[in-house]
Every structure is written in structure tokens, then in C-alpha cells.
Structure 1
């Protein structure tokens, strides 16, 4: 089940949704009650694709003006991926004390 939220930390999710909240399964239609600690973050693939496109465009642009040194901008998708991995790891590693 997916939860759409723009929060970056588990306490922010707790403040937004509460300790426990209900969610409706899109596949079976079952309504389940989920604790905030049961939510796991995943990498946002859209951000990775944006980084990839941005890296390709800047590499091509800089290659035309600066030559081979422009290939350094190919590191942009790697930076986007690393940022996503750090965010997911920090969200998933922190848990709220259950009451």
C-alpha cells in the first residue's frame, strides 16, 4: 500500500497523520489501521529521472563549449541518487516510541 505524503521525517508523518491511521488498499479494498512505524520510505524515481535528464542536458551543453571537461556534469544523476538514498535511510532508521 502506498501513502502519498511530502514529509521527510517520521515525526513529520506522525504530526500529519497521527500515531495510527487508516488506509484503504487499492488492490483488495481492505481498510487497515497502520502505525506510523510500519511505514517504510522508498526512493522517488521521478527525482532520479529528473537528475538523469538534467545530467544529460548539461553534459551535452558543456561538451560543446568546454570539451571533455563537460563530462564532469555527468555526476549530477549520482548526486540525486545519493540524496534520495540518504533521505530514505534516515526516514527508515528513525522510529517513534509506541504508546
Structure 2
């Protein structure tokens, strides 16, 4: 899962390198706000963690497809197992998509 936010100055997307499952775990790691320099324009802006957006990693589906192709070719003799092995990347991609969707649905209460 990739975490990203848009810079308010240059409107470019910036990515973060945090491995978290939800916003509460991210809040425990970095606090309520994120101080980060924009990768393209270099301005320092504070972003509340509710302004971060999660998206599924693009490479997980490709890796799962490669593994499923190898498994399918290996067990081609058993036809129904080969068909099941090919559904593995679909399941992995939907799991990654659901994890990112769950992250985006849950927000942290703002403190005044």
C-alpha cells in the first residue's frame, strides 16, 4: 500500500514510505500532522494525516501474476488446480485494494 498526498503549492503527488495498516497506527508513529518537504518544489507544508490517501501497490499484482503463471505451468497436468492457481493474482490484488480502501474510509478525529 502506497501513501500519498498532493502538494498545495505545485499540485504534484508525493509518496510516503510508511508501512502501516490504518491511520491510528500512522498517528502513533508520526503524530497528528506530517511535516514533509515536497519532492518537486521543496516547500515545507503541514499535512494532517486525514489528508493522506492510500492506493494499492502496482507491483503486487504483477508479482502475483508471475507466480500464478509459474504455478499454472507446473501443475498443468491437474487441470482444475491449474485454473485455481491462475485465480491467485486476482485474489491478491483485491486484498490489496480492500486494504487501501479500508485505510481511506477511516479518519482520525481532529484535535482543536
TM-score bracket for the superposition, by shorter chain length: over 0.9
Which runs of 5 or more residues in structure 1 are unaligned?
none
1:44-84: CA deviations, max 9, x gaps? 11221211111111111111x31x32122110110111101
Q: How large is the Cα RMSD of the aligned pairs?
A: 1.0
Structure 1 runs (4+) deviating above 2 angstroms are none
Query: Following the alignment from structure 1 to structure 2, what is the Cα–Cα distance between the partners of residues 55 and 16?
Result: 35
1:3-82 alignment, distance < 5 Å: 3-63=16-76, 65-66=77-78, 68-69=79-80, 70-82=82-94
Answer 1 or 2: which has greater strand percent.
2
- In the aligned structure 2, how far is the partner of 1:72 from the partner of 1:90? 27
Quick check: 72-81 or 42-51, which moved more? Answer: 42-51
Match in the other structure for 1:88: 100
Greater helix share, 1 or 2?
A: 1
Output the TM-score relative to the length of structure 2.
0.82
Return the offset for 1:3. Answer: 0.9
How many pairs does the alignment contain? 97
TM-score (norm 1): 0.92
